[in-house]
Amino acid sequence: MQIATPYLMFLGDVPDRLAAKTAYGINDWRPEWCVGQVRTEGCAADLGIPDLTLAQAVEHGCKTMVIGVANAGGVLPEHWVAEIVSALEAGLDVASGLHVRLGSIPRIAEAAERNGRALHDVRHTTETFPTGKGTKRSGRRLLTVGTDCSVGKKYTALALEKGMRARGLDADFRATGQTGVFISGRGVAIDAVVADFISGAVEWVSPAADPGHWDLIEGQGSLFHPSFAGVSLGLLHGAQADAFVVCHEPTRTRMRGVEASLPSIREVIDLTIRCGRLTNPSIRAVGIAVNTESLSEPQARTLLQEAEAAHGLPATDPVRFGVEAILDRLATEFPA
């Protein structure tokens, strides 16, 4: 799937930043690809890049309008269809990470064909996966897991990849969600894979490698989330993780989109080890990544110190304070 850059990011009328996490992820990690944004009335997200009309986007060289939205169920609201059709008519391709295929909507499919434009459904793959086998693979793997959805699992994995490469280590980010695929140009959206083949798809994403190579595998959902635990478990088994980092957002009391209470970091560590031992008996926690965006720096540092003391693991905000402490722990646990 070759998606033409640069991008025009479509945010629609999303109610908050998290609902536009695909757009934020691409803009944070591939800012050179993001020329402008399109927001409709009521949008509560802002990437901090220019608001452009479709005509202006084309004048600025945009090639593809990316639907930068992630919502429960991956649905495409009816009132966005007209904007997508207009983008196709303006000469832009359209790419989406939603579950709903763009071409399944007649007005969009007809506009794409009429204008000779491409539709990219990043969440869907033409690859055929086997069932997972759990057979030991060479190479090393780290999986990011979460106390909830949208707590920083992708950002943590990307930050670890960047930090490892800066140290001269052989490391690759492995995308398992639509935003990660947009960022890395490869991978598979695990939540769109038929359930029987989830672990096999992860084995495909992270194949056997050189003994010293690290795959930083993007986590999805949470083992405790009533909606998405099945995906998280299949991902854990397929990852065959040697190490994992727990990602957490400290201001939440309920899991996103449901009434379930947020699990503790300790509960996530214990359950991840218990379930992960099925495919890697030596799985272990190596760090805690906390999204402290809503806290002051003194509050953030105090919370991280408390987490380190409570769990005996390095704790950091990967975006705010870096990942050096976790990398130091990895070097100790897994010497070259």
pLDDT per residue as tens digits for the range 257-296: 999 999 999 999 999 999 999 999 999 999 999 999 999 9
Tell whether omega for the bond before 15 is within 30 degrees of 0, i.e. cis. no
**CATH number assigned to the domain covering 140-333:** 3.40.50.300
Angle between helices 198-205 and 229-239 (to 10 degrees): 40
CA gap 25, 70 in Å, rounded? 11
Q: What is the pLDDT of residue 125?
A: 85
Tell me if residue 85 falls in helix, strand or coil: helix
CATH 3.40.50.300, the chain: domain bounds: 140-333
Q: Is the pLDDT of residue 1 over 70?
A: no
CA gap 317, 159 in Å, rounded? 10
Give the DSSP per-residue string, 295-325: S-HHHHHHHHHHHHHHHSS-EE-HHHH-SHH
* pTM (2 d.p.): 0.86
Residue 148: how many CA atoms within 13 Å on its side-chain side?
Answer: 22
Which letter, b or e, does each residue of 5-29 get, where b requires 16 or more Cβ atoms within 10 Å of its Cβ? ebbbbbbbbbeebbbbbbbbbbbbb
pLDDT tens, position by position, 2-11? 789 999 999 9
Q: What is the pLDDT of residue 75?
A: 87
CATH 3.40.50.720, the chain: domain bounds: 7-121
Residue 72: band (very low, low, confident or very high) from pLDDT cuts 50, 70, 90: confident
Which fold would CATH assign to domain 7-121? Answer: Rossmann fold (3.40.50)
Residue 18: band (very low, low, confident or very high) from pLDDT cuts 50, 70, 90: confident
**Contact by Cβ (8 Å): 140, 214:** yes
